[in-house]
Structure 1
């Protein structure tokens, strides 16, 4: 007598009807690090590139050194946009009064002053199209997108236009970025490269 082989159980979470919710990210077991929720679907990140790691590190520490005392800077921390969207920007600046508990895993989007995404090969569409729309709808006033252009960091800066509720471009920066909002910054973008390269040029 033949026995029908049993189908193996999927090794990934099977979404419920209607998709996952923001709360599910804290309840689902064995999710890969830095899993995001976009439109009710889980998004798993690909391995980080050296450029991505250096850019996130550089921007996070530079902003932390000049941010006003009432603001906090975090890297790779999720925010609640709505019940079906809990993205994880690479760097965020938030109002300090929302940082209440060392066990927190997310912040409300309305507390975010600036969201920054460093673009990877697999995240181009999300970072250029999907996420900016969601951040704008959540009324996050400032959005920066950082891209690797021929080995150099280029920062695309956007500000929320209150009349339209959409982002408008306020600058594209190549080697040096100076901005006055949400607080004054002066970034030497050429520092986003291996240390040995920087030493050789000095």
Structure 2
């Protein structure tokens, strides 16, 4: 199956959907929208991955194996241990391939907001002090900038491995808006039928 544009219809109602993209691209937001539209369960993988002091939870891989085995779901396509397990079972992938300047501006604003308001993220975790951007090479802003170029090649590789997998490639905000608008317009009988 060729890679789909925002205006191309999905071949049917997906039951297991991955949303991929750089940190700050809006993966979680779009995953929640897709889950709501198709009445699919959604679990934010960050909440399963991060344990005390930002260390990976020891049960994370087992959690992913259990989540992947379920018949219907929507997840972000992230974390090296999770990606192959989820990709093997997915029946659609949506890729947010937004420009680096846009996702960087989003991640900076989001990090500032979370840091200033001391927002709890997952499992009692909060953004570290802003000054850590200077000495922590894995600070979320530095990490997002550094890893941005890795996502498109990863999605292309998956397209080669699973040529039957519908992949929707969205490269601009207007494409995301167009695709989610079309998603909202899907007939209810298409959304609710078994796929």
State whether TM-score is above 0.5.
Answer: no
The structure in which a higher percent of residues are strand is 1
CA radius of gyration, larger in: 1
The alignment's TM-score, normalised by the length of structure 2, stands at: 0.33
The alignment's TM-score, normalised by the length of structure 1, stands at: 0.32
